[in-house]
């Protein structure tokens, strides 16, 4: 069928096209509308289309002119492709248009992913904060909650504004190195220099006489920061890796706090306002840090929450699903709004699995959640007290009062939430699974 026939008969947005539009709308609203979703009137102003036309296109029930969709996509700098629309009678293709997503999502989402949900105020605030001189952003969330996806968004925003970028993941450092402050800081400086495309000058610039923290600070102040007039965004991911090494972590974190204070409150003559720090972690740091040493009580804090019912519903629509409210509540109860587990569930629902089947096989050894659950067990088995505490929580109908360190460690893993001061399983999946494990 040629384009003239399509123009005459009209077309309907495919699920893929709808996803692309929603992602582009959210990205633009994060940049230009303080992170708030566009109202219909605002969308009319952005696209130049009437409210009636926009409603018809977005509901995907009545055909619209192909030129209308082209205008709609063009307003968000998107090119309209043949996969973005369907003939209204082509219902079979409409139902299967999401097969473009051939496997469950795994790992960070790309910036233009239609499955990335913008959280009200989070992305807009984070991207704005890193443009502030001497900024420190603290990002906390359990594993697979979307920290790295948000970090990628912040990095893309920083690059658009001309900042230099350096990313350090402490998961990449050797365990033996973490036990020694001097080795840890030398590794840290070398990785930052490599990220910036600068040669390693540690041998010429490092003076062990003054200690690791002083030498590291000097390396930044005399070499890495003045290497360019552009501000430097330094992202330190997986900061938790340090927490088991008390003395090293205390000195490292105290150094970061000192850098923040020099950037925020130092004189105009120093270079530290050029540094913008982002530190990402999942658990609390139980370390003997004074109020003036800790970087966890200053700067801008972001704690990623689980998905709400409305967000699960929005995500289901992007997968081309239309579950009723009762099914959404059942899914929310099962996985507790955990972002990765929610994405995984919705993907399998698009593969002709029913919600009843997923619920029945939730904790099966070959179920869709088995890899995730095994990973959680591996983490717990490394700490006997932690594993026993989780089994105790899962087998309690009222909740358990745990020592603070165990409570917050389990919360950092996303396994528990708090009902007043009692720890309870964060979702039915974890309650069922860990209730079947031996306590010791």
pLDDT digits (tens, 9 = 90+) for 11-48: 888 766 776 787 788 778 877 887 677 888 899 999 99
φ, ψ (nearest 5 deg) of residue 131: -90, 0
Nearest Cα to Cα of residue 411 among 287, 308, 304: 304
Burial of residue 421 (CB within 10 Å: 0-12, 13-18, 19+) is exposed
* pLDDT tens-place values along the chain, 440 residues long: 444 554 456 888 876 677 678 778 877 887 788 767 788 889 999 999 998 998 888 877 788 989 999 999 999 998 888 877 887 665 344 444 343 455 677 778 876 677 888 777 788 889 889 999 999 999 999 999 999 999 988 998 898 889 999 999 999 998 888 989 999 999 999 999 999 999 999 999 998 778 899 999 999 999 999 999 999 999 999 998 998 898 999 999 999 999 999 998 876 568 999 999 999 998 877 776 776 778 989 999 999 999 999 889 888 888 888 888 899 999 999 999 999 999 999 999 998 889 999 999 999 999 999 999 999 999 898 888 999 999 999 999 899 999 988 998 899 999 999 998 899 999 999 999 999 887 65
Question: What domains lie within the chain, and their CATH numbers?
Answer: 3-100 (no CATH), 122-303 (3.40.50.300), 309-435 (no CATH)
Work out the number of other CB atoms within 10 angstroms of the CB of residue 54: 18
pLDDT digits (tens, 9 = 90+) for 208-254: 778 899 999 999 999 999 999 999 999 999 998 998 898 999 999 99
| Gap between the Cα atoms of 111 and 131, Å rounded | 19
Report which secondary-structure segment, H or E, holds 340: helix 339-349
Work out the number of other CB atoms within 10 angstroms of the CB of residue 344: 21
pLDDT digits (tens, 9 = 90+) for 114-144: 788 877 778 888 988 999 999 999 999 999 9
Output DSSP code: residue 165: E
Nearest Cα to Cα of residue 254 among 31, 25, 246, 378: 246
Output DSSP code: residue 99: G
pTM of the prediction?
0.77
């Amino acid at each position: 069928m040629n384009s003239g026939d399509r123009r005459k008969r009209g077309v309907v947005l495919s699920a893929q096209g709808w996803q692309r539009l929603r992602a582009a709308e959210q990205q633009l609203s994060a940049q230009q509308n303080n992170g708030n979703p566009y109202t219909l009137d605002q969308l009319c102003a952005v696209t130049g289309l009437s409210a009636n036309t926009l409603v018809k296109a977005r509901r995907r029930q009545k055909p619209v002119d192909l030129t209308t969709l082209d205008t709609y996509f063009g307003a968000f700098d998107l090119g309209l492709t043949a996969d973005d629309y369907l003939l209204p009678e082509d219902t079979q293709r409409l139902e299967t248009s999401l097969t473009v997503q051939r496997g469950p999502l795994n790992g960070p989402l790309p910036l233009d992913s239609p499955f990335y949900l913008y959280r009200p105020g989070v992305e807009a605030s984070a991207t704005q904060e890193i443009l502030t001189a001497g900024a420190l952003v603290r990002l906390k969330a359990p594993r697979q909650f979307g920290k790295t996806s948000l970090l990628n968004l912040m990095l893309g925003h920083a690059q658009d504004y001309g900042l230099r970028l350096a990313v350090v993941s402490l998961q990449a450092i050797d365990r033996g190195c973490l036990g020694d402050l001097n080795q840890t800081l030398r590794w840290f400086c070398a990785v930052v220099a490599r990220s910036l495309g600068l040669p390693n000058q540690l041998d010429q610039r490092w003076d062990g006489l003054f200690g690791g923290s002083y030498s590291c600070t000097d390396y930044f102040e005399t070499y890495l920061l003045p290497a360019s007039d552009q501000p430097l965004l330094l992202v330190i991911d997986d900061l938790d890796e340090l927490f088991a090494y008390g003395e090293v972590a205390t000195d490292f974190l105290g150094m970061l706090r000192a850098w923040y204070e020099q950037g925020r409150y130092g004189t105009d003559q120093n270079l530290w306002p050029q540094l913008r720090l982002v530190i990402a972690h999942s658990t609390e740091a139980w370390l003997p840090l004074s109020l003036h040493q800790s970087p966890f009580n200053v700067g801008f804090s972001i704690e990623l929450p689980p998905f709400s019912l409305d967000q699960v519903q929005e995500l289901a629509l992007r997968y081309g699903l239309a579950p009723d409210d009762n099914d959404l509540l059942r899914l929310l109860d099962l996985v507790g709004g955990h972002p990765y587990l929610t994405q995984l569930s919705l993907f399998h629902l698009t593969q002709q699995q029913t919600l009843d089947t997923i619920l029945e096989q939730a904790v099966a050894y070959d179920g869709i959640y088995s890899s995730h659950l095994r990973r959680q067990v591996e983490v717990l088995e490394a700490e006997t007290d932690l594993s026993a505490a989780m089994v105790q929580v899962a087998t309690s109908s009222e909740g358990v009062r745990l020592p603070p360190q165990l409570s917050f460690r389990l919360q950092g893993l996303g396994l528990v939430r708090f009902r007043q001061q009692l720890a309870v399983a964060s979702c039915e999946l974890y309650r069922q699974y860990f209730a079947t494990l031996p306590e010791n």
